[in-house]
Amino acid sequence: MKTTLDNLSTNLLSMVISYKNDIAKEIEYELENTADKIIDYIKKNCPRGNSELHLADSFIKTEIGFGSNKVIYISSEKKGRLVHLIELGFKHRNGKFVKARPFMRPAYNEFSPKMLDEIKKIISKGE
């Protein structure tokens, strides 16, 4: 079959669309994978008390949007009012200071840069 300019532009367009769809799937996979790693890290490193309902077990991921507009939030489903107090520390009304025991920020600091590097590789190499 002879290639014409019309065929060439149609073929190029379909290749670009296919490339874009493949890249979007790989980026979504990397985002999901990183969110799972962050939740695992939080569950391992979150301070545990003596109760049956641990803060560490309450973390979930919430996905909003899809494709290149997808955002994943990681939050505590039932104990969201406690997370910042443990993460940042606080001062009681009686003046006693409770020291910070960060577990969320270290998770993000460890896994987010790796995710961004992987996304850059995916985009630049098409892998």
How do residues 71-110 score in pLDDT, each as one tens digit?
Answer: 999 998 888 888 888 899 999 889 999 899 999 999 999 9
- The answer to whether residue 1 scores a pLDDT higher than 80 is no
Under DSSP, is residue 76 helix (H, G, I), strand (E, B) or coil? strand
H/E element holding 80?
helix 80-88
What pLDDT, on a 0 to 100 scale, did the predictor assign at position 48?
Answer: 79
Q: The whole model's pTM is what?
A: 0.79
What's the confidence (pLDDT) of residue 9?
Answer: 82
The domain segmentation of the chain, as residue ranges, is 5-125
Cα separation, 21 vs 107, whole angstroms:
29
Q: Are 111 and 72 in contact (CB under 8 A)?
A: no
